[in-house]
Chains A and B, each alone.
Chain A
Amino acid sequence: MSDHFVQIVEWTFLGYFAAINLAYLAQCLLAVRSVRRYLKSSSIDELDPAYSTVHLPISLVVPAYNESKSIVTSIKALLQLEYPDFEVVVVNDGSTDDTLEKLIAGFQLYPYPEAYRKQVPCKPVRATYRSARYRNLRVVNKENGGCKADAANAGINICRNPLVAIVDADGVLQRNSLTRAVRPFLENPETVAAGGAIRIANGCTLREGFLEEVGLPSNPLALMQVIEYMRSFLFGRMGWEPLGAVLIVSGAFGVFRRTTLIEAGGFNPQAVGEDMELIVRIHRIMKQQRRRYHIGFIPDPVCWTDAPESLKDLGSQRTRWHHGLGQALMLNKWLMLNPRGGTVSWLAIPFYVLFELLGPIIEAVGFVFFLGGATFGLIAWSEASIFMLLALSLGMLMSVCAIMLEEFSFPMYRKPRELALLYAAALLENFGYRQLTVWWRLKGFFRWVTGRRHKWETITRSASVGAG
């Protein structure tokens, strides 16, 4: 290998590192600005109780597949949310366990003839039920559609309120989640969708479906994900929000204007990452129709979700996410560098293609090039070590930025030991965990290229969430 070639490769990687980290840094700065603005405006609604009466009716759609263990606790918790006007629509997607029986017994459900409209495609509905105990609870039992998207679509067809929140059956919501999530819709009538920060529930103590005490997980894989979620939600999404280029509203909790969901055709049952695909599609449709719209994001932790604690579950999740990313971008390729697409087309989509979709390939090539080159004597070990150390230190810097943003906005982990653990995780994730995620994302990339399908994903629940 000639010195000249090595130098070209080194400059290429250096340029890539510089570009990706400058982009992240810019996101971080934008996120700081957005969080400051958000904190300023939110201080007022802590004062006057009149502000808490500001609301729009919401339908919570809860797709459920084989959730027998936790479904009753989860739904009971949802029914206790602090919000003046909401209904809960649970969609049993042809579960093979006794999810439906648990719901019938737990909420005294009785069948009733819902004259529902099929406005977005989904598999046939077998029956609809109402609760004799909770007037705002309905359950839809439908044929298995093989994915969450199909179940969510059935819920969209049946719900009646102008706003629809899609909520994971195993998600743990804050009591005031709906009040928070509805804010972007109240503040800006052009808002068509909004999401909030999702946090990791592992290590937290739950009581009757609500969070009682925040804690960090003892499982190292879950701990690394705490840092990842901070990075992703606090400066990933918060950074894109002021640019009008939020491309993901998490499937765990997202609020949509019902009319927008119907216009967009609902969730795509063929999409692996149905949450991202829907948001990218909404961007595309709105841009194509030259309509003004806004997709909001709030930094409040609105939903706590169970993170996978085994390599198998985590690997499967990450592979699926990356597959979904590729598919969502490809299905909406009209947006790529389209003159009508604004910041979405010229910043967000190129960023996701270059740094997220192709990121693992470039990172993997880098590892192989520098480690392989040093092993076979093509590059000096000192040089390879510098580049490896650069990757490590920049990765650490981004995680430290996320921890700072967390402390700046909504600090959840108050104990000094927890802060120390977060810093340890920010350092240690660079040794093994990061390389594993690169591998899983590579697998996801190749699954997307080869077009393999995924089905409902079930992960082994951690004790904290399962205990209800």
Chain B
Amino acid sequence: MPDFPFASASNAASSVALWLTVASIAASLLLLLYTLELRVRRRFRERRRAGVIAHWRAIIAGAVTGAAGSATLAVPRLHRRERQEFLRLWVYTRSMLEGAAADRLIALAQALGLTEFVRAQARHAHVGTRLMAIQALGYLRDSESVAELTAATDDANTLVSITAAEALAAIDPPRAMALLIPKIPQRRDWPRTHVFNVLQRAGSDVISEPLYRCIRAATDDDAAYLLQFAEIAEFDVRDALARELLGSSTNPELLAAALKTATGHSPVARIDELLAHDAWYVRMQAAKLVGRMGRTEDADRLEKLLADDEWWVRFRAAKALVRLPGVSVADLEQVRLRLHDRYAKDILGQAMAEAGMR
């Protein structure tokens, strides 16, 4: 036993307690020092970062506005220790630009030898570093990285794979869409909003044809999943898909997805059958579609749905009904008066109030 103030501890338990006390005080002190070190390092990092940003922001701004266009060759040297920070700033600025400004920014990056650095970073073990590099390759439109990015779309890490998909779409949209659209049903881990972003950036003219072919060749489950992205496709492709699938399928999920895809500009077969379908979500989508079609003569169809068992069907039918052209407030009040079902009356009252009619 060392000569501590409590060295008179008379038994083993006290002795263990004493050592534990000493150990925990020592650990607290070490953690305190580590916390202070973290703080000092953070301060240092922030200061250095601020310096790099201040220096390069002006140069990037010059490149964006074109002021530095003629002086591209005279850009200062990018030091090794500045590269990561510069890349972050470059990616951030590039993400907000298109057109000539983006081209000038790419030229600046190339003049600074950033492409080779980014290619190496795209193989980095640190996921955050890798993600930024993959994004940068897309923004640089680096066609030499297509093979590597294509391989990265199969990466188990969701963020890595979807970011690689985005980069590919930025480099060569038609080629990327032909590759990526068939992968979408297999990569359900890709956040849908990211997939929407990728498809939207590629453009409806680019995605429509591969999406149509993929949906028509897919299983019911995959087709239903892919159809949610069809709203970005061209109107005639959406309507063709809806027409063909509604005419041939019996799968409720697929029917609901196809109804959602239809623009409402073309007539839809089996609409009465779909408005009375067993699955409430099919009835709901059918009611929404009838609303989008906007034909006054469909008012009776929607009125029947106001007494549906499912709240969402009643709600969507009421919303569609109040928006139908040619249906006045007086007409709707008449409908309310002849309704016997309390739920039907309530939901129509709510939809009218929401539309400012009551």
Q: Which residues of A contact B (CB under 8 A)?
A: 3, 7, 10-11, 14, 17-18, 21, 40-41, 43-44, 47-51, 53-55, 112-115, 117, 130, 186-187, 189, 380, 382-383, 385-387, 389-390, 393-394, 396-397, 400-401, 403-404, 407-408, 411, 419, 423
Contact B13 A10 (CB under 8 A): yes
Q: Is B27 an interface residue (CB 8 A)?
A: yes
Question: Could you tell me the distance between the alpha carbons of A186 and B17 in the complex, rounded to whole angstroms?
Answer: 48
Q: Which residues of B contact A (CB under 8 A)?
A: 6, 8-11, 13-14, 16-18, 20-21, 24-25, 27-28, 31-32, 34-35, 38-39, 42, 88, 91-92, 95-96, 126-128, 131-132, 135, 158-159, 163, 166, 188, 191, 193-194, 197, 311, 314-315, 343, 346-347, 349-350, 353-354, 358
Tell me the dominant secondary structure on chain B's binding face.
Answer: helix
One of B10, B27, B194 near A397 (C-beta < 8 A): B27
Q: A40-B128, A49-B96 are in contact. Are A115 and B314 (CB under 8 A)?
A: yes
Contact B18 A386 (CB under 8 A): yes
Question: Could you tell me the distance between the alpha carbons of A404 and B37 in the complex, rounded to whole angstroms?
Answer: 10
Contact A386 B21 (CB under 8 A): yes
- Find the A residue at minimum CB distance from B126: A40
Which residues in A have their C-beta under 8 angstroms from that of B188? 189
Contact B38 A44 (CB under 8 A): no
Which residues in A have their C-beta under 8 angstroms from that of B131? 43-44
Question: Could you tell me the distance between the alpha carbons of A40 and B128 in the complex, rounded to whole angstroms?
Answer: 5
Contact B8 A389 (CB under 8 A): no
Q: A48-B135, A54-B193, A386-B6 are in contact. Are A43 and B128 (CB under 8 A)?
A: yes
One of A43, A50, A382, A407 near B38 (C-beta < 8 A): A407
User: Smallest CB–CB gap between B321 and chain A, Å?
Assistant: 14
Question: Could you tell me the distance between the alpha carbons of A55 and B27 in the complex, rounded to whole angstroms?
Answer: 43
Which residues in A have their C-beta under 8 angstroms from that of B8? 380, 382-383
Contact A187 B158 (CB under 8 A): yes
User: Smallest CB–CB gap between B90 and chain A, Å?
Assistant: 10
Question: Could you tell me the distance between the alpha carbons of A21 and B28 in the complex, rounded to whole angstroms?
Answer: 13
Question: Could you tell me the distance between the alpha carbons of A18 and B315 in the complex, rounded to whole angstroms?
Answer: 59
One of B6, B38, B193 near A55 (C-beta < 8 A): B193
Contact A382 B9 (CB under 8 A): yes
Tell me the dominant secondary structure on chain A's binding face.
Answer: helix
- Find the B residue at minimum CB distance from A399: B28
Question: Could you tell me the distance between the alpha carbons of A311 and B9 in the complex, rounded to whole angstroms?
Answer: 37
Which residues in B have their C-beta under 8 angstroms from that of A393? 20-21, 24-25, 28
Question: Could you tell me the distance between the alpha carbons of A194 and B248 in the complex, rounded to whole angstroms?
Answer: 41
Question: Could you tell me the distance between the alpha carbons of A385 and B159 in the complex, rounded to whole angstroms?
Answer: 54
- Having A382-B6, A400-B28, A404-B38, one finds 8 other A-B pairs with CB under 8 Å, namely A41-B159, A50-B166, A380-B10, A386-B14, A389-B21, A397-B25, A407-B38, A411-B39
Contact A407 B193 (CB under 8 A): no
Contact A53 B197 (CB under 8 A): yes
Contact A7 B350 (CB under 8 A): no
User: Smallest CB–CB gap between B127 and chain A, Å?
Assistant: 6
User: Smallest CB–CB gap between A407 and chain B, Å?
Assistant: 5
Question: Could you tell me the distance between the alpha carbons of A411 and B96 in the complex, rounded to whole angstroms?
Answer: 29
Which residues in A have their C-beta under 8 angstroms from that of B24? 21, 390, 393-394, 396-397
- Kindly name the residue among B9, B21, B126, B135 whose own CB sees the greatest number of chain A CB atoms within 10 A: B21
Contact A113 B92 (CB under 8 A): no
- Find the B residue at minimum CB distance from A110: B353
Which residues in A have their C-beta under 8 angstroms from that of B347? 115
Question: Could you tell me the distance between the alpha carbons of A150 and B358 in the complex, rounded to whole angstroms?
Answer: 30
Contact A113 B346 (CB under 8 A): yes
